[in-house]
Amino acid sequence: MPSNGSDSIKVAVRVRPFNEREKSKDSKCAISMRGNTTTITNPNTGETKDFTFDRSYWSHDGFRELDNGQLVRDGDHSPYVDQDRVFEDLGQGVLNNAWDGYNATLFAYGQTGSGKSYSMIGDKVNRGIVPQACGELFQAIEKQDSAKAKELQVSFSILEIYNEQIRDLLANKKQNLGAGTLKVRERGDKRFYVEGLSHHPCRDYATIKRLMKVGAVNRSTAATNMNATSSRSHMVITIKFSQIFNNEVGESTTKTSEINLVDLAGSERAKSTGATGDRLKEGSAINKSLLNLGTVIEALASGKSQKFVPYRDSVLTQLLKSALGGNSKTVMIAAISPADVNYEETLSTLRYADRAKKIKNQAVVNESPTDKLIRELKEENAKLLKMLSGHSTNGFDNDKIKELISQNELQLRDMSLSWEQKLEQARKEWEAEQQRTEQSINVHDTFPYMQNVNEDPQLSGVIKYVIRKGSTVIGRCQDLDNSRQKRIVLQGLGIQEEHCTLVSQDGKVTLKPLSRSQVTVNGDPLTRSQVLHNGDRLKIGSNALFLYIGFPEERTGDANVKKRYDYQFFQKELASKLAPSNNLNNNKDNQAAFLQMYMEYIELMPVVAGVNAMSEEMEREVEFTLQVKNLATRDEAGRDLPKDIIVRVKNKITNQVWIWSKTKFNNRRYMIEELYMNYQEDSTCLKGLTNDNDPFWDPVEDIYLGCAYVWLCGLAHYLHVEEQAAFYDYYGEEVGLVELKMAPCLRNGQLLDDSALVHDPSELLGKPFSCKLEIDRCMGLRWIKENNTRGVMLKYTFYNQHPSLQTQALWCTFNPKLNHTQQLIVDLVDKGFLQYLEECALVIELWGLQAGRNADSAEPNRDSGLIMMADSDFSSVPSSPMLDGQLNDFDTAEKEVALLRKQLQTTLKANEQLKTKCSALKKENKKIRKSLSCRDKLSDMRETPDSANRQRAVTSGTRVQAELGRALKEFFGDIRPVQHNLKIIHQRAPPNGDLKALSRDLDEALTNLRSAVALAVQIHKEERNTET
């Protein structure tokens, strides 16, 4: 027998294969293992970190699947570690410790989906540690030598911790009506126990299998009724193993071991909420258990004997006190994802496990004479009764003493029953349950039924509702009026008292929704009666998912229907109907990013539906809507902005709106779920809410509504820009218009006229630049049309100016007059600024204001109306070369006049060509606009037609101005030497009538050119405005 003493927690790490979501993201493996060392690589920097544990299990690849579904190594040299190897290394040790009389604990830690439950429970073929340990225990019991005269007793219990409340997963239906009310108590020896938790005696492994099935049914039912998904709850399985025998002196002795097998909630729930940007920093009780578990491990790992360990701060740590730093042999499995996209979560898990391995436990053999145990309990009871009747309570209040007495009496009654009596009692209960189960199985083979679908595969298909002939009502209301109406009672979110009916008649089942009920069939909302077919997917209320299995004759053609339609299929189908769809381009990076965002959208859909249902049931009048940020929004250069999931929150009474990030929403939804659970127990709990602790409330904030784009390429030619631009929201929907002007000017603010036209923007290099922005008014603002108490203001950033500039706030007007003027100055134009003018747009953001906002914190950034950009590092560009040589005589001048006339004819011809180009570009622009107007408008998760049309229109407009710029450049390239030579001739040659006529012709050509250019620009602006 092992000796008592200090023993460190044994830690093993196991990495799983990629899941479908990680494959869709084109994830790379960030984990490698050599021996017992696990290495993680930062995907951004390439930096590696090494962690050494007692075991490092590689289960990522190197395996193959047999016909029966079992996963095995694909070769003798494969590094793959299967379920049997994990049990041999870890589970068998737990059993050995139990036989020796030690308490033993094995718990799995890791983020949701990392493989914790697979290692602990597994599936029908690839059994995990729990079923293998139970099976091995009873095999060992059967092999025990009867000559030793040992009585071996095994009892089994399962509990679930959710939101700091405990549910007995093996309680009968009547007991489950009070689910969530079990309390943790403390014995006189400072050990914690769960008051009222049922312990079921087990004769064999088959009994444990049945109990585990009952636990799965109750856990799945709770997930449906309470919105308590398994990924956010802890499950604790306790196997109490007692060996009763006569010791060497003939005394009856009991050696007892408690084996605790713990499947913890997803470790991402343990994140502090302090970095979410949320005013409510504390999080909820749903996070409390794991947060406190981390605190306990940190305190124990520090090795400081005097350091306080906060076991009492959560239910989970109270129950794990023995396992952590106490009387237990403890093993921890850290389950990790291999994907680089989960780097932060995986690194956190590895650090957590690294701290846990430093914890020292003091395990002792639990062996005492049986008579002594009974005597001690009786003596303790007598002592407690004396304390209760007297005045000395040793610090215990009367209620506490009564609880201890009651618990001791229960233990005494339990010990007074022989093991055979307990088994006989359990046998009778199970026989009755087995009879019902067999009848149910036969019924499923005869009638159609609905079976539940859960995100946890182990909890899917464990609940089956039979649909008998006639009418069956689905809803919350039970048959209280003894009408004998067939009912399927569901307590889930968003389910009405009488929600819908199922009518089975003439070999068909028809589903009919009742008033105000939410029912979807195959992703489509159900508004009238519909005949169901085998494999139809049903969503009842907010989140209750069921797969319809038809009459036996319908099932023959599709044997894999149950396997095909899993939880992910349900959610993708709902998203395809309810969420914006996608139209990805061929860019692989964009596709991977979009798929990641799309999967996040799918995951949040049922969560948002559940929160909306809780809000409605508590009459909070707050509505939550999933949105995709930047779905159709681009930056100043026309590039797509990163897309993300956000949640729009609206108070339906005040019409106030907030925008929450995913992180903030997740933090708040835990608090809302906690509030909802309290509300179910006591509806008056809402009366004590204040703004400081109300998860539905936030201070008023300004809301981003959309943006408008004003392309700046005209300014690069010193052309005036006049726009009536549309504001577009994240989805490419128009939410208003803005009228503005941008014009080049001198530093003193004087506007430049058309004579300042620049044919080649590179001429601006090394020179100062100044322009004046005038924002006249906004029109047709949907934000104010919805509620005329609201206001708006505009924000914009010109080039590298920070912070952004703002207009004044204007309220309660649908078409506000802004009269905003701002002069923008750049000391020296460099190549970067010139590229900005030629290729970018001024992005003007429209922000919605709401009554009650903090005006001081949102005061516009307005100074004197003069904004200076940062100085450039540009060196001046040399001017263009002058004409070489001198004209020395009149003959030369005559020849030059003839040459100039020829050049003038060429120039006039170029002028006509320029007009033709402008006309052709105008026709092309009209043709493009006409083509775009014929396209159907699609509201989906791709580049929306509005944004696409706008982008094409912008591209067309940019092309018009670019062609115009090139034509101007060619013209001035021809005319510049003519002007220069003419000037020289005037200076050096005698007066000549032909020369004067040439000058007049040239001036007239230039005037005509300016008029043509101005007309072309004006026509283009009008077309843009008409299109808008």
Distance (Å, rounded) from C-alpha 767 to C-alpha 837? 14
Distance (Å, rounded) from C-alpha 338 to C-alpha 372? 53
Rg of the chain over Cα atoms, rounded to whole angstroms, equals: 39
- The Cβ-side half-sphere exposure at 852, using a 13 Å CA radius, reads 8
Cα dihedral 699, 700, 702, 705, rounded to 10, equals 110
Find out whether 3 is annotated in a ligand binding site.
no
**How far from 810 is each of 699, 796, 818, CA to CA, in Å?**
20, 16, 8
Structure tokens that stand for 551 in this block: 């009459």
Q: Where are the beta strands (DSSP E) in 581-733?
A: 622-629, 644-651, 657-661, 703-711, 721-728
Q: At what angle do helices 370-389 and 398-416 cross, to 10 degrees?
A: 150
DSSP element (H, E) containing 14: strand 10-15
Structure tokens that stand for 219 in this block: 């856990």
Find out whether 62 is annotated in a ligand binding site.
no
- Residue positions counted in the chain: 1028
Are 624 and 608 within 8 A, CB to CB?
yes
Burial bucket for residue 605 (CB in 10 Å: 0-12, 13-18, 19+): middle
Nearest residue to 244 via CA among 363, 136, 374: 374
In this structure, is the dihedral angle defined by the CA atoms of residues 826, 828, 832 and 838, taken in order, positive or negative? positive
Find out whether 294 is annotated in a ligand binding site.
no
Q: What is the largest CA-CA distance in the chain?
A: 144
Backbone angles phi, psi at 908, to 5 degrees: -60, -40
DSSP element (H, E) containing 153: strand 151-162
Distance (Å, rounded) from C-alpha 135 to C-alpha 156? 13
Burial of 473-504, coded b for 16+ CB within 10 Å and e otherwise, reads bbbbbeeeeeeeebbbebebbbbbebbbbbbb
Find out whether 113 is annotated in a ligand binding site.
yes
Helices (H) and strands (E) in the chain, counts: 23, 43
Find out whether 110 is annotated in a ligand binding site.
yes
DSSP 367-434: EEEHHHHHHHHHHHHHHHHHHHHSS--TT--HHHHHHHHHHHHHHHHHHHS-HHHHHHHHHHHHHHHH
Distance (Å, rounded) from C-alpha 364 to C-alpha 103? 8
Structure tokens that stand for 751 in this block: 């506007």
Find out whether 114 is annotated in a ligand binding site.
yes
Distance (Å, rounded) from C-alpha 687 to C-alpha 667? 22
Known binding-site residues equal 110-117
Known binding-site residues for ATP equal 110-117
